[in-house]
Amino acid sequence: MAFDFDFELLRELTETSGAPGYEDRIRNVVRRELEEEVDEIRTDAMGNVVGTIEGESNYEVAVPAHMDEIGFMVTHVNEDGFLSIDSLGGWDSRILRAQRVTVHAEDEDLTGVIGSTPPHLLDDDEDEQDVSDVYIDLGLSAEEAESRVSVGDIVTMEQTTTRVGDHVSGKALDDRVCLFAMLEAAKRIENPSVTIHFCATVQEEIGLRGAEALGVDVDPDLAVALDVTVANDIPKVKYEKDYVTRLGEGTAIKLKDGSVVTSPKVHRRMRELAAERDIEHQLEVLPSGGTDTAGFQNTHGAKPVGAISIPTRYLHTVTESAHGDDISATIDLLTAFLETETGEHDYRL
């Protein structure tokens, strides 16, 4: 059965590169998709994109989803032409071995590989643990590598996005799948009661930086953030009580994560609306990790905030996986919440 959303757009969003601070390519896709759907679109000095649909009242809602994906920056080209790198975001170095990458040099993109020591040569207790141990092999001589790559060049993982059963799997679903949900909601919204700012943010993976700036610049009355969340419903996790969310059980309404406790009156309205519209949903209590939700909650005074999450397995790898039904449910709940926001709900405690 085909997905009931634009899979090709989701594929483009996830396969397009955009590490923290260098979101240019993905920003171009977002602007292209938003321009026809909003009344005004702008980009700020950090590269955040804000597309605004004017409402009937002065009440303003911000809907942030981040554009950046975890990546690397080149720190050194050694005498044999291998590249050393520093991380941009939180990598688990165990998954980096034998991966293909793209080095975004000034004038060209170069394909490289992160190799690994053959098992024949490893001691029993030898294991690469840190990103500082990782090297990129471009297949070039030292002289050619030094002439084509510079310190500061950006590196992203090279991976295609594909359907796996009922799932979508690829790199950068964190957070491009939520960016996709935001764009799809923007296309459905017509004549809202309130003004809606669709915010594609930058540098979330290195500290919610774009959202913190927009919290001041946009200064909304309410923020509803979108991000992926942990779905650890896998054999390795022994006890169901340790699951954060499960794939296929609907969109996740966030109650808390490591950076925020969402406003009770906001998440209660989400839950009531999901039940009323028969939108499959589950509740998210994430022990650690932060999202753009926190960037809007108290950056420019106290704000009511809510968050909708897409359950995702294998986060911060190149095979992140989300269920097609959960993606659809997220789009449905976000659209319903925005369509029914009148600016008259009292979210104060």
Among candidate residues 23, 158, 204, 212, the one labeled active-site is 204
Check residue 82 and report its DSSP letter: P
Distance CA 87, CA 108 (A): 21
Which residues on adjacent β-strands are paired with residue 209?
Answer: none
Find the helix or strand (DSSP H, E) in which 159 lies: none
- Measuring CA to CA, which residue among 74, 291, 55, 332 is closest to residue 181? 332
> Can 204 be counted among the known catalytic residues?
yes
Q: What is the DSSP string of 201-265?
A: ES-GGGTSHHHHHHHHHT--SEEEEEEEEE---STTS--GGG-S--TTS-EEEEEE-SS-B--HH
Range list of H helices, 5-71: 7-15, 24-35
- The token duo for 32 is 């292209």
Distances (CA, A) of 51 to 40, 60, 68, 69, 342: 6, 13, 17, 21, 19
The burial of 161, by beta-carbon neighbours within 10 Å (0-12 exposed, 13-18 middle, 19 or more buried), is given as: buried
- The token duo for 160 is 């295609």
- 3-state class of 73 per DSSP? strand
- 3-state class of 112 per DSSP? strand
The burial of 258, by beta-carbon neighbours within 10 Å (0-12 exposed, 13-18 middle, 19 or more buried), is given as: exposed
- 3-state class of 163 per DSSP? strand
Kindly report the backbone phi and psi dihedral angles of residue 91, in degrees, each rounded to the nearest multiple of 5, phi listed first.
-95, 145
Catalytic amino acids? 204
